[in-house]
Structure 1
Amino acid sequence: MLRPRTLFYILALLFSSPASTHPSQPLPSLPISTNTQPKVILDNDWNPTAFIAFLLPLYYNHAVLGLASDTANSWALQTGLHALASLEIASLSSCIPVYKGSDYPLLQTAHTFQTYEVLHGKLPWKGVFAKENATNEQLGNDPTSGDPRRVVKEAFTTKEHYGFPNGSFAEGSAAEFLVRAVRENPGQVRIFSGGSLTNIALAVRLDADFAKNTAGLWIMGGYVDRFLEQAVGDVLRADLVSDINFVVDPEATKIVLTADFPNITLVANSANGVIPDQAFLDELVAVNDNPLSRLVRANQPTYLPFWDETAAAVMVDREGVVLDEVEVYVDIDTSYHSPFYGYIRPYQAALMPPGLRKVKYINKVNDTKVAEMIKTVVQFPPRDCSELGVGGGV
């Protein structure tokens, strides 16, 4: 339950200037920051509109200790720069640090990924391991394959209401940050993964107590059947069940899903339900024209679901969002010569091989509720770090 900040908004309205761009109607209450609020680290392959995933925990009374970038849809350097740019636009750079993740997955490379496609067929979405395409990059697409250290500035400068960040990464790697944050806050830090699990696997290997000392792990990923197609309107979309977050680093996924986290939640097929149309995006700005609502309206695709945002919604309001879930044992196929390389295998307890652990698998969410949550946090984000009450540095 959120606690209102009625006094804050009364004072804000009293002292706001007539030229203020904020709407005149009453604003939804933001949570009050306290020392007992949940703490979270969000690890993601960030892009120009992925910031909604960290707005959700901020609104729902979480202290965001930091953001980590990973390699999944693009290289960790590029996705980390997106995180920095988003924080600058949101005026949150001074209280939420960004840590760059591992450039490469544990074993997977562009060569092995592309060879795998020759052996087992094309994947509908290739993420970072799509073949390098300079023309696409010049048009504003993030880099794929090639050198993980190269930066494509066009992915920032060609987007409306966006721009290349001025800030820099926090010192240390994402995996080191994860370990340090959990050591300093044992039992308190939630881990959210919206991209590959490389950084989290490295943290598990760096510190044998890391996983068990977290407050749990929430993952966007774990599609049950890669061969299914999902209908969106009259179009069958195979890429809606393409599990690039796991396929880009199957070995890291196996390490993480067999680690001793207090609980693990997988949000996969159930995250396909909220796909914005233009009316949805227009409403964001119509209700409150702010830098983030303008950014989402200009750059959010109307053909892709709010995947990471749905997983974040499950994390911050499970009771209000989840309609059906099941507990199962899961394994990850790490055989390179298998057509299921990188995909999960769910088991009943009676049939599972040794060494697996139980996870919570979300079968269905309240899409209407998730859509309203997304609208609210984009329409009424925190205006700056002063509204959060605590800094995120560890």
Structure 2
Amino acid sequence: MVQIKFSVAVASILGLTTAKKVFIDNDGLAPLQVLFPLAAGWEVLGISTSFGSSSVVDAAGTAFDILQTYNLSSCIPHYVGAQQPLLRTQDTFDAWQSLFGELVWQGAFASFYEDTYTWDNFTYNETLPGAIAMVEAVKANKDTDPVYIYAAGMMTTVAQAISIYPNLVKEAAGLYIMGGYFDQQYAAATGPSIVNDINTDINLMQDPEAAQIVLTANWSQIYIGANVTNYLVPSQALYDILINKAGGLSVLEDTPYFEFVSNLVATGNYSENTSEQTLPFWDEVVSAFMVWPDLIESTTNFSVAVDTSFYSPFYGSLRIWGADYAPKGAITGNATIVNKINDDKFYDLLVSTYFQDWRQYCEVGGPVALAGYE
């Protein structure tokens, strides 16, 4: 059930976090992935956009639109990250599917994928590739306020950064990733296509080698969203709260600042979309518990690795073991997998964050009250 308890739940959790820094890499940025850290008092040092669920140009175009809508471009630099996986190609992606079955969601590898943007539609910081920008951000802050890395798409850009600067894993504060589902075979095999989709780990499967490099590096901490990110989904109750708080559906649809809220509501009963198009808050959930760790209610520590055997039905899947049972002949990493968060607080934070005015953030260093929604 979605509830709004701003005076207690949101106000109290906002006060738990001291200023921290994060660098974000994604293949399809979500607004709250940027706004949640800012709401918690964190500094977003940069965003890199990469190939994966979207083509590189579409990932970059989406990020540009988000930064423009919230007027954040002047203080959050935007770079282009990995433009292709380390090893995987369209041909090997298709060959693997022929051997082991087609994925419902194939991202930018889908045969029917067409770019929405062109490079002429937007601008970005062309002075550095995303991996170099990530390295520079970590190096510049390692002695004062170490940077967290949040990777919510393929791990390729992070793997590139590690290859360029191995000390990244020691000098960063830690790594958070969206992905790493496990034990989902039955649900994927027996459910409708949407269930198959949300139980397919495309972020790791599009570049398994990069994922293995990143997840087995010697980070001070790794947090994996994994299965918990599938459980928080839009609902009619949430749509109603957003619409009522805005003052009506027409206000959402006619106000440019509410574009992304309107897009969210359009996945519900106020459009002709079906449940097949109503996806979980994947990236947003990890962003939220990264900056508000008080949201986390249950975690488990595992030894982890990614299957990098091409002739395996689990190629690109996360494998987990208890520490005492991890394989001795394979490279593994140590990770904390989040099992449960406080759902009500997450939804409260979602609503409160969307109804603040971020357009003056770069000037004043924080959100201001949104006129008419104080």
Matched, 1:168 2:124: yes
Matched ranges for 1:282-361 at <5 A: 282-288=240-246, 291-299=256-264, 301-302=267-268, 303-319=278-294, 321-354=295-328, 355-361=331-337
Q: Is 2:142 aligned against 1:179?
A: no
Name the structure 2 match of 1:37.
19
Task: Tell me if structure 2 keeps the 8 A contact 1:228–1:238.
Answer: no
Confirm or deny: 8 A CA contact 2:180 2:201 kept in the other structure: yes
Partner of residue 87, structure 2? 107
Match of 1:148 in 2: none
* Cα distance in 2 for residues equivalent to 1:364 and 1:29: 20
Deviations 1:227-254 (A, max 9, x none): 13279x9997111111000001100000
Structure 1 position 277, deviation (Å): 3.0
Answering whether residue 354 of structure 2 is matched by residue 370 of structure 1, we say no
Alignment of 1:48-87 (within 5 A): 50-87=30-67
- Say which structure is richer in helix: 2
One of 31, 46, 56 as aligned partner of 2:28 = 46
Report SS of the residue matched to 1:252.
helix
**How far is the alpha carbon of 1:77 from its aligned partner?**
2.6
| Aligned counterparts of 1:241 and 1:169: Cα–Cα separation in 2 | 35
Post-superposition offset of 1:130? 0.9
Tell me the equivalent position of 1:387.
364
Cα gap change, 1:364 to 1:118, in 2 (>3 Å): same
SS of structure 2 residue aligned to 1:301: coil
Residue by residue over 1:38-64, the C-alpha shift from the partner in whole angstroms, topping out at 9 and shown as x without a partner, is: 0011111125xx111110000001001
Residues 1:153 and 2:117 are matched in the alignment: yes
Q: Which amino acid aligns with 1:337?
A: Y
Separation in 2, partners of 1:253, 1:301: 31
The CA deviation at 1:275 is: 1.4
- Inter-partner Cα distance in structure 2 for 1:291 and 1:283: 19
1:240 partnered with 2:216:
no
In structure 2, relative to structure 1, the CA distance for the partners of 1:236 and 1:66 (3 Å cut) is closer
Between the aligned partners of 1:59 and 1:379, the Cα distance in structure 2 is 11
Q: CA deviation at 1:285?
A: 4.7
Q: Aligned residue pairs: how many? A: 335
Deviation at 1:260, TM superposition (A): 1.4
Instruction: Quote how far apart the aligned CAs of 1:315 are.
Output: 0.2
Q: Aligned letter for 1:229?
A: A
Q: Answer yes or no: is the 8 Å Cα contact 1:80–1:100 preserved in 2.
A: yes
Match of 2:167 in 1: 209
SS in 1 for 2:186: coil
For the structure 1 residues 190 and 291, does the alpha-carbon distance in structure 2 shift closer, same or farther, using more than 3 Å as the test? farther
Q: Does structure 1 retain, via aligned residues, the 8 Å contact 2:153–2:178?
A: yes
Residue 124 of structure 1 deviates from its aligned partner by 2.1
Retained in 2: the 8 A contact 1:59–1:381? no
Distance 1:91 1:31, change over 3 A: farther
Render the CA deviation track for 1:176-203: whole Å, top value 9, x for unaligned.
Answer: 0011111101051011111111000110
Q: Structure 2 CA distance, aligned partners of 1:60 and 1:114?
A: 42
TM-score for both structures, normalised by structure 2: 0.82
Of residues 137, 147, 168, the one that matches 1:189 is 147
Report the Cα distance in structure 2 between the residues aligned to 1:75 and 1:345, rounded to whole angstroms.
27
CA distance in 1, matches of 2:104, 2:192: 18
Aligned partners of 1:312 and 1:367: how far apart in 2? 14
The offset of 1:168, in angstroms, is 2.6
Cα distance change, pair 276–68 in 1 and its aligned pair in 2 (3 A):
same
Contact 2:31 2:260 in 1 (8 A): no
> What secondary structure is seen at the aligned counterpart in 2 of 1:113?
helix
Separation of aligned partners in 2, 1:317 and 1:361: 16
What is the rounded CA distance, in whole Å, between the counterparts of 1:234 and 1:255 in structure 2? 33
8 Å contact kept, 1:182–1:214: yes
Which stretches of structure 1, 4 residues or more, deviate above 6 A after TM superposition?
27-32, 233-236
Moved more, 119-128 or 277-286: 277-286
From the superposition, tell whether residues 189 and 252 of structure 1 become closer, same or farther in structure 2 (CA, over 3 Å). same
SS of match in other structure, 1:228: helix
Letter in 2 for 1:81: G
Measured after TM superposition, the shift of residue 372 of structure 1 is 1.5
How many Å separate the matches in 2 of 1:226 and 1:381? 39
What is the CA–CA distance in structure 1 between the aligned matches of 2:56 and 2:89, rounded to whole Å? Answer: 14
Long gaps (5+) in structure 1 = 1-26, 138-142, 144-151, 157-163
Deviation for aligned residue 1:166: 4.1
How many percent of aligned residue pairs carry the same amino acid? Answer: 35
Q: After TM superposition, give the deviation of residue 279 of structure 1 in Å.
A: 4.8
* Alpha carbons of structure 1 residues 245 and 122: separation in structure 2 relative to 1, 3 Å: same
How many angstroms apart in 2 are the aligned matches of 1:60 and 1:314?
11
Offset at residue 103 of structure 1 (A): 0.8
- The answer to whether the 8 Å contact 2:204/2:316 transfers is yes
Tell me the amino acid that sits aligned with residue 344 of structure 2. Answer: T
